[in-house]
Copies of this chain bind each other. A is one copy, B any other.
Amino acid sequence: MKIGLLGCGTVGSALVQLLDADGDRLGSLLGEPLELGRILVRDLHKVRAHEVPMKLLTTELAEVIEDPEIELVVELLGPGEFALSAIESALASHKSVVTANKEILSTHFRELESAAAKVNRDIFFEAAVAGGIPLIRALRVSLFGERLTRIVGIVNGTTNYILTQMQEEHVSLETALGDAQRLGYAEADPHGDLSGRDAASKLAIIASIAFGSHVDVADVQVDGIWGVTPADFDFARRSGGVIKLLAQAERSLDSPDAPVRVEVFPAIVMSDHPLASVRGSFNAVFVEGSAVGQLMFSGPGAGGLPTASAVLADIIDAVTNLRNATRAPMRVAQGTRFVDDSSIEGVFALSVDVIDAPGVLSRVSEVFGRNLVSIARMEQDELDSELAHLVFLTHRTRLSSIRATMAQLSELSVIQRLHKVLRVLE
Interface residues of A (CB under 8 A from B): 14, 18, 22, 25-26, 29-30, 126, 132-134, 137-138, 141-147, 212, 256, 274, 277, 289, 291-300, 303, 305-306, 308-310, 312-313, 315-317, 320, 324, 326, 329, 331
Q: Are A147 and B22 in contact (CB under 8 A)?
A: yes
Asked, given contacts A22-B147, A141-B317, A309-B289, whether A298 binds B300 with beta carbons under 8 Å apart, the answer is: no
Q: Which residues of B contact A326 (CB under 8 A)?
A: 324, 326
* Interface CB pairs A-B, < 8 A, 20: A18-B291, A22-B147, A26-B145, A30-B329, A30-B331, A134-B138, A137-B137, A141-B141, A141-B313, A141-B316, A142-B310, A145-B309, A145-B316, A274-B298, A292-B305, A292-B310, A293-B299, A293-B305, A296-B297, A324-B324
Q: Are A144 and B293 in contact (CB under 8 A)?
A: no
Closest 8 CB pairs of A and B: A134-B142, A295-B299, A291-B309, A132-B292, A145-B312, A292-B309, A291-B305, A324-B326
Complex copy number for this chain? 2
Q: Determine the distance from Cα of A134 to Cα of B144 in the docked complex, in whole angstroms.
A: 11
Residue in B closest to A137 when the chains form the complex, CB atoms = B142
Q: Are B299 and A331 in contact (CB under 8 A)?
A: no
Q: Which of B133, B141, B256, B320 contacts A329 (CB 8 A)?
A: B320
Asked, given contacts A143-B313, A326-B324, A331-B29, whether A296 binds B298 with beta carbons under 8 Å apart, the answer is: yes
Q: Which residues of B contact A18 (CB under 8 A)?
A: 145, 291
Q: Determine the distance from Cα of A147 to Cα of B22 in the docked complex, in whole angstroms.
A: 9
Residue in B closest to A315 when the chains form the complex, CB atoms = B145
Q: Which residues of B contact A297 (CB under 8 A)?
A: 295-297
- A317: min CB distance to chain B, Å: 7
Q: Which of B29, B30, B143, B277 contacts A134 (CB 8 A)?
A: B143
Q: Which residues of B contact A316 (CB under 8 A)?
A: 141, 144-145
Q: Are B309 and A146 in contact (CB under 8 A)?
A: yes
Q: Determine the distance from Cα of A293 to Cα of B145 in the docked complex, in whole angstroms.
A: 29
Q: Which residues of B contact A294 (CB under 8 A)?
A: 299-300
Q: Which of B30, B143, B295 contacts A298 (CB 8 A)?
A: B295
Q: Which residues of B contact A317 (CB under 8 A)?
A: 141
Q: Which residues of B contact A320 (CB under 8 A)?
A: 329
Q: Are B299 and A292 in contact (CB under 8 A)?
A: yes
Q: Which residues of B contact A293 (CB under 8 A)?
A: 132, 299-300, 303, 305-306
Q: Which residues of B contact A132 (CB under 8 A)?
A: 291-293, 295
Residue in B closest to A284 when the chains form the complex, CB atoms = B296
Q: Determine the distance from Cα of A274 to Cα of B296 in the docked complex, in whole angstroms.
A: 12
Asked, given contacts A291-B308, A299-B295, whether A141 binds B137 with beta carbons under 8 Å apart, the answer is: yes
Q: Which of B274, B298, B306, B315 contacts A291 (CB 8 A)?
A: B306
